[in-house]
């Protein structure tokens, strides 16, 4: 059975994943309205993925005899200036989430809860990938120039 302390920290992460999902959904709405359909598609997928993470963590908690909770989700920011700005925001946000995941692993190590450590290691690796992907997109938009952004946007539609 999982400890109350780890249960609370994982529930906080479930809330954070749902907040991330809403953030990316808001970004997707913005991008779709601005006519960047490839980037909007990428962002809708990202929003779905974050929701899946929340569910995955909730199922894990329940498997370990814990209780999963949906807490209040704070409002997300809105209104961005450019594709570059939006993906810089994604990159920054993913770096923040990596810190949150590391904090859970640290707590699981402190309690010698090997199952929780093992479960969250996959998210440590996933965050490495997510940071790298966001950084790569930022880089592409930086290099794209005025016309290249259309090409990068359509590439993102292939996700
Ligand atoms: Fe939930 O994977 Fe990134 O944030």
What are the residue boundaries of the structural domains of the chain, listed by start? 4-156
Task: Write the pLDDT tens digit of every residue in 89-145.
Answer: 999 999 999 999 999 999 999 999 999 999 999 999 999 999 999 999 999 999 998
- Rounded to the nearest angstrom, the distance between the alpha carbon of 33 and the centre of ligand 1 is 24
> What is the atom index within ligand 1 of the atom nearest the CA of 17?
1
17 CB within 6 A, ligand 1: yes
Three-state secondary structure readout of the chain: CCCHHHHHHHHHHHHHHHHHHHHHHHHHHHHHHHCCHHHHHHHHHHHHHHHHHHHHHHHHHHHCCCCCCCCCCCCCCCCCCCHHHHHHHHHHHHHHHHHHHHHHHHHHHHCCCHHHHHHHHHHHHHHHHHHHHHHHHHHHHHHHHHHHHHHHHHHHCCC
Probe residue for ligand 1, chosen from 20, 52, 60 as the CB with the greatest number of ligand atoms within 8 Å: 20
Task: Write the pLDDT tens digit of every residue in 2-37.
Answer: 999 999 999 999 999 999 999 999 999 999 999 999
Residue 159 confidence (pLDDT):
86
CATH of region 4-156, choose from 1.10.357.10, 3.30.70.1290, 3.40.50.280, 1.20.1260.10: 1.20.1260.10
């Amino acid at each position: 059975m999982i400890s109350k302390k780890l249960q609370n920290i994982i529930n906080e992460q479930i809330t954070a994943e749902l907040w991330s999902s809403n953030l990316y959904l808001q970004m997707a709405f913005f991008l779709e309205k601005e006519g960047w359909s490839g980037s909007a598609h990428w962002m809708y997928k990202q929003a779905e993925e974050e929701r899946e993470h929340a569910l995955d963590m909730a199922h894990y908690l329940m498997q370990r005899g814990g209780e999963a909770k949906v807490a209040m989700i704070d409002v997300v920011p809105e209104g961005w200036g450019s594709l570059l700005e939006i993906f810089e925001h994604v990159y920054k946000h993913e770096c923040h989430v990596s810190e949150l995941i590391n904090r859970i692993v640290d707590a699981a190590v402190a309690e010698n809860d090997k199952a929780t450590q093992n479960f969250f290691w996959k998210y440590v690796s996933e965050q490495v990938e997510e940071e790298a992907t966001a950084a790569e997109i930022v880089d592409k938009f930086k290099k794209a120039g005025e016309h290249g952004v259309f090409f990068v946007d359509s590439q993102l539609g292939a996700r």
